[in-house]
Chains A and B, each alone.
Chain A
Amino acid sequence: NAGVTQTPKFQVLKTGQSMTLQCAQDMNHNSMYWYRQDPGMGLRLIYYSASEGTTDKGEVPNGYNVSRLNKREFSLRLESAAPSQTSVYFCASSVLAGAHEQFFGPGTRLTVL
């Protein structure tokens, strides 16, 4: 099993460009999450999908959209990238209920010039 995979690993964009970050998990997990990690601030939740067919805003959703394509895949889209969106993005997944932890992907380092 690959666990949680993310593509791409690195990306450089110009201000105003758009892109989609892809995430997939092969653990049959119900819930999936997108976080961003900025220096000195830990990880902050952007959007999450508690189950297939549902998505909800997290702490910092502005400038982002998400799609839960199916149970395996959860994508994050930047419609018009801004320098403030320069960050490392992590996708995670977990079983919906119980004490199970979230499993993280390797992250995508995004730079917006």
Chain B
Amino acid sequence: AQTVTQSQPEMSVQEAETVTLSCTYDTSESDYYLFWYKQPPSRQMILVIRQEAYKQQNATENRFSVNFQKAAKSFSLKISDSQLGDAAMYFCAYRTLEYGNKLVFGAGTILRVKS
């Protein structure tokens, strides 16, 4: 079974600085998708960025980028120019291509942004 590990329960960053959130996963599949979701205090789950495993190029979305290391099974999220609105719980998730396309989530990292 696939597992996702986020080793940082909590992180802090100064406004306008850069922070990196870590994620590792375990799978025997060769093709899959990885996601970072943001959950602000409103509880709504918001997709931040996704990465297809077959693509070597790291995904970027404005201030958000990933460092995808397939051989190491590592998928970290870098947030540049951090803003107060970035403060939230961040979840790394793995999506299998098996029947049902299920998501497996990590435990989450709380990101605090200091002004």
Contact = CB atoms under 8 A, between A and B. Distances in A.
Contacts of A104: 44-45
B99 A90 contact: no
A75 interface: no
Contacts of B91: 42-43
A54 B106 CA distance: 27
A53 interface: no
Given A88-B43, A106-B43, A45 B103 contact: yes
A50 B107 contact: no
Interface in A76-113: 88, 90, 92, 94, 96-97, 99, 101-102, 104, 106-107
Contact of B33 (A42, A44, A90, A99): A99
Contacts of B44: 104, 106-107
Interface in B86-105: 91, 95, 99-105
Contacts of B45: 90, 92, 104
Interface string B6-31: 10010000000000000000000000
Contacts of B6: 42
A42 B43 contact: no
B99 A50 contact: yes
Given A56-B100, A101-B35, 15 more contacts: A31-B100, A33-B103, A40-B108, A42-B4, A42-B91, A42-B108, A43-B103, A50-B99, A96-B101, A99-B50, A101-B95, A102-B103, A104-B44, A106-B42, A107-B43
Interface of A: 31, 33, 35, 40-45, 48, 50, 56, 58, 88, 90, 92, 94, 96-97, 99, 101-102, 104, 106-107
27 contacts: A31-B101, A35-B105, A40-B9, A42-B4, A42-B6, A43-B103, A43-B105, A44-B105, A45-B102, A48-B102, A50-B100, A50-B101, A88-B43, A90-B45, A92-B45, A92-B103, A94-B101, A97-B101, A101-B35, A101-B47, A102-B103, A104-B44, A104-B45, A106-B42, A106-B43, A107-B43, A107-B44
